Structure 1
Amino acid sequence: MTATGSTVDGRAAVQRRTIVVLSIAQVLGGLGVAIGVAVGGLIAADVAGTEAVAGLAQTCGVLGAALAAVPLAWLTRRHGRRAGLVSGLLTGALGAALVVLASTARWLPLLLAGLVLFGAATAAGLQARYGATDLAVPERTARALSVVVWATTVGSVLGPNLTDPAGRLGVALGLPALTGPFLVTVVAFTAAAGVLFVLLRPDPLRLSAAGPAGGTRPGPDGGGVVASLRDIVVRPRALVGLCAIASSHVAMVSVMVMTPVHMHHDVSLSLIGFVISVHILGMYGFSPLTGYLADRAGRLPVIVAGTLITAAAGVVSATAPGHDAVRLGIGLFLLGLGWSCGLVAGSALLSESVPERTRTAAQGVSDLVMNGSAAIGGSLAGLVVALWSYGWLATGAAVLMLAVGVFSVLHTRRRTAVAP
């Protein structure tokens, strides 16, 4: 075997190991995020003494993910993929610890600050999907990315089911019951960071700076937020990828957070939990299939299919009364599946459409736009429901996604002077 062939085989072996390590970390990180999100609103309402601030907990977490996206991308660009992911998870663990402290002291500002830091772990989980692409061959990029996204399913489904045992743990330690899940979150995030710190070697992003024959290429010099955003905007395919990621997330978060509110006067909490579980299955369970189709059929067809699926989800949900858990379950499943199409295919399209020197920075900016848009959308969703109805909110999400689908088809036909 030639030296070049040996090097290629070695990189393939590292890629397989990278996928396994990232997937293990995603299981742990997804568990921590899910169990924290499950009680975040409840703990905020308990500390504040009013349910009016419950939605603020979700907003703080999404805002934290947006604020952390660019700094974590900077760390990744300067020190490697491992440094960025570990830093995000440990920041999230610190945030969860502050939530426990704030709940015990019944201090709302500290609680909200903790939830913002908690969001950094969500940002790390999202950026882990890009770690799967650092060494992936072009024809398997989306599939590699989708496997890491899929791994989140295990933790996301397991997390909420640990809420009661974790609550009993909190009580046994002399703490408020609702702090128990956040104690589990601290452990889960720290364990995920430990897995990455010890096992994610060699660093996939640093190894990707070496050519196929082992020669070293100059490392990425990146750029600021404005420069990275400009790199995306001037490239039609990259812009379509960003729009797919952001719009899918806005539609998903906006409709998902208001569905329990739409249902809670008509059905039991167990039925609401079932609907949300079906939604999570749609988000993550079929991501490997989404990645396979994005590699085989192309990024754009999967993005457009995702916009149509999400639009259908909006129509189904908009016409479902609060007591119709079956129809809402179908709507939320489709909402999650459409999100998966937009995230997986959009992320792959964006990554391959920007120059390597600014790729990591562009990935961070995409997550900033994604989570920042969702934070705004989630905040406005409550206002829309209060002024009009849940049906109008879901209809608006459907219209948004149809518009993004049309834009995606038309915009990719534009010719640009800047080569992708």
Structure 2
Amino acid sequence: MTTTALAPHPAQRRVLTVLVTAQVLSGAGLAAGVTVGALLAQDMLGGAGWAGLPSALFTIGSAAAAALIGRTSQRLGRRTGLAAGYAAGALGAVGVVAAATLGSVVLLFASLFVYGAGTATNLQARYAGADLATPPQHRGRALSTVMVATTLGAVVGPNLVTQLGDLARAMGIPVLAGPFLLAAAAYASAGLVLWLLLRPDPLTTARAEAALPQPTAATTPGSAAIAANTRMLVLGAAVMVLSQLVMVAIMNMTPVHMTGHGHSVGAAGLVIAVHVAAMFLPSPLSGFLVDRLGRLPVAAASGVTLLAAGLLAALAPPHSVGLLALALALLGLGWSFGIVSGTAIVTDAVPLATRAKTQGTVDVAIAVAGAGGGLASGLVVAAGSYAVLSLTGGVLALAVLPAIVWTARPGIASHS
């Protein structure tokens, strides 16, 4: 391999700068709604059994949006797909505010569904960070750079719950709808940044350059290589699906668990802020480990870390904000390990010609898993307890280990 082939792509720095800017903005929209979504549903619908519904709705919406964003990006590039996704997320946030103000449950359901587009877009932006990453062994660090940028907005958002509630009250809007005002502005701003500044488009540029004549003749993958790539694709998707399912289920019910034991909404917002920071802030570490140690060891670490999070959340005394925050921090770290390693595995396994569409399909599965986790979380807590939910989630996360063994059995892929 020549030195030129190893050099960073000249447009990669600009692409990452624009993506990072958009992610900082969108992070506030991602986290603000998460903090109060379950409480808003509980308030409008009555009973903790319905508290998991908002998460289920906007993750179902996220699934639909993931497919549309992937297909749009495949045809028109990342710039158009991501900007449209954030615009839809902003529209959904406005709808949630209107629904809360009018007391309309039907509008709330529809708006939460559309609001999920923001979550899907925030997550799919990581793929754009890896499109021009060279050499391929640096993909983990490139995509993690995009993910870590979400941290600032994601941490600030939940900690503004009280102030946003005061603003909403002054505007004659229900207090719990206040954070969705921030979400609308955040998503709209992120979409505008991408639409105006994401040039050159990373995906279309990568495809155009891949179509140029190469110094050496390209070889057609054999059946064994295709089978290996397929197994790795399935594994990467499974790692991310499990990580999302466990993370959403436990995270979703933590504010309800805390407020049910006398904690304020502000205290719950603090714990969620710690959790979201732990999801995105360690991303550079996750990316470094994925590139240095390999995809599979970090994927295995995600299952073990999520188990530790579930055990601590189940055993933590309800009055201990510190232990709950630590449990949610481990939950975020386990998710980071799973998403970064899984994304790298999928990107390695899929050719440029179908990359965006396949990535969108994988994110549909991730979103559906999140929807299932969000919906089931409220029902499990209503029928059992928060401890039962946390223990179940932690044990379920270990399913990633036999999946890794199954994939590696015939021979570990070159990037493992």
Amino acid in structure 1 at the alignment position of 2:399: A
1:133 counterpart residue number: 130
* Residue 28 of structure 1 pairs with residue 15 of structure 2: no
Q: In the aligned structure 2, how far is the partner of 1:175 from the partner of 1:233?
A: 54
* Residue 189 of structure 1 pairs with residue 187 of structure 2: yes
- 1:125-173 Cα offsets, whole Å, 9 max, x none, are 1100000011001121000101111111111111122333333433444
1:92 counterpart residue number: 89
**Gap change, CA 1:315 and 1:101, over 3 Å in 2:** closer
User: Is the Cα contact below 8 Å between 1:232 and 1:362 reproduced in 2?
Assistant: no
Q: In the aligned structure 2, how far is the partner of 1:236 from the partner of 1:312?
A: 28
1:387 counterpart residue number: 383
1:137-216 paired onto structure 2 within 5 Å: 137=134, 138-211=136-209
User: Is the Cα contact below 8 Å between 2:271 and 2:324 reproduced in 1?
Assistant: yes
- 1:289-319 Cα offsets, whole Å, 9 max, x none, are 1100100110001111111111122222222
* Residue 256 of structure 1 pairs with residue 251 of structure 2: yes
User: Is the Cα contact below 8 Å between 2:229 and 2:349 reproduced in 1?
Assistant: no
Of the three residues 349, 353, 358, the one matched with 2:349 is: 353
2:118 counterpart residue number: 121
Q: In the aligned structure 2, how far is the partner of 1:232 from the partner of 1:176?
A: 54
Q: In the aligned structure 2, how far is the partner of 1:108 from the partner of 1:95?
A: 14
Q: Partner of 1:130: helix, strand, or coil?
A: helix
Amino acid in structure 1 at the alignment position of 2:83: V
Amino acid in structure 1 at the alignment position of 2:111: G
**Gap change, CA 1:21 and 1:159, over 3 Å in 2:** same
User: Is the Cα contact below 8 Å between 1:317 and 1:331 reproduced in 2?
Assistant: yes
Q: In the aligned structure 2, how far is the partner of 1:262 from the partner of 1:43?
A: 14
Amino acid in structure 1 at the alignment position of 2:82: L
User: Is the Cα contact below 8 Å between 1:264 and 1:322 reproduced in 2?
Assistant: no
Q: Which moved more, 1:37-46 or 1:367-376?
A: 37-46
Segments of 4+ in structure 1 off by > 6 A? Answer: 231-234
2:238 counterpart residue number: 243
Q: In the aligned structure 2, how far is the partner of 1:283 from the partner of 1:401?
A: 16
User: What TM-score results when the alignment is normalised by the length of structure 2?
Assistant: 0.88
Q: Per-residue deviation at 1:215?
A: 5.2
1:72 counterpart residue number: 69
Q: Per-residue deviation at 1:64?
A: 1.0
1:414 counterpart residue number: 410
Q: In the aligned structure 2, how far is the partner of 1:107 from the partner of 1:57?
A: 14
Of the three residues 374, 386, 404, the one matched with 1:378 is: 374
Q: Partner of 1:368: helix, strand, or coil?
A: helix
Q: In the aligned structure 1, how far is the partner of 2:396 from the partner of 2:52?
A: 23
User: What TM-score results when the alignment is normalised by the length of structure 1?
Assistant: 0.87
Q: In the aligned structure 2, how far is the partner of 1:234 from the partner of 1:109?
A: 44
Q: In the aligned structure 2, how far is the partner of 1:122 from the partner of 1:64?
A: 9
User: Is the Cα contact below 8 Å between 1:91 and 1:120 reproduced in 2?
Assistant: yes
Q: Per-residue deviation at 1:378?
A: 1.9
Q: In the aligned structure 2, how far is the partner of 1:58 from the partner of 1:176?
A: 19
Q: Partner of 1:208: helix, strand, or coil?
A: helix
- Unpaired segments ≥5 residues, structure 1: 217-230
Q: Per-residue deviation at 1:47?
A: 4.2
- 1:367-403 Cα offsets, whole Å, 9 max, x none, are 1111101111221122223333333322222222222
Question: Identity across aligned pairs (percent)?
Answer: 43
Q: Partner of 1:264: helix, strand, or coil?
A: helix
**Gap change, CA 1:175 and 1:119, over 3 Å in 2:** same
Q: Per-residue deviation at 1:199?
A: 0.6
Q: Partner of 2:358: helix, strand, or coil?
A: helix
* RMSD (CA atoms): 2.7
User: Is the Cα contact below 8 Å between 1:65 and 1:371 reproduced in 2?
Assistant: yes
Of the three residues 288, 298, 303, the one matched with 2:294 is: 298
Q: Per-residue deviation at 1:191?
A: 1.0
1:386-405 paired onto structure 2 within 5 Å: 386-405=382-401
Q: In the aligned structure 1, how far is the partner of 2:128 from the partner of 2:192?
A: 17
**Gap change, CA 1:381 and 1:169, over 3 Å in 2:** closer
Of the three residues 307, 323, 328, the one matched with 2:324 is: 328
1:221 counterpart residue number: none
User: Is the Cα contact below 8 Å between 1:263 and 1:272 reproduced in 2?
Assistant: yes
Q: Which moved more, 1:338-347 or 1:318-327?
A: 318-327
Q: Which moved more, 1:48-57 or 1:30-39?
A: 48-57
Amino acid in structure 2 at the alignment position of 1:34: A
Amino acid in structure 1 at the alignment position of 2:332: G
Amino acid in structure 2 at the alignment position of 1:123: A
Q: In the aligned structure 1, how far is the partner of 2:158 from the partner of 2:400?
A: 33
Q: Per-residue deviation at 1:89?
A: 0.5
Q: Per-residue deviation at 1:184?
A: 2.5
- Unpaired segments ≥5 residues, structure 2: 215-225
Amino acid in structure 2 at the alignment position of 1:242: A
Q: In the aligned structure 1, how far is the partner of 2:227 from the partner of 2:125?
A: 20
Q: Per-residue deviation at 1:68?
A: 0.9
Amino acid in structure 2 at the alignment position of 1:165: Q
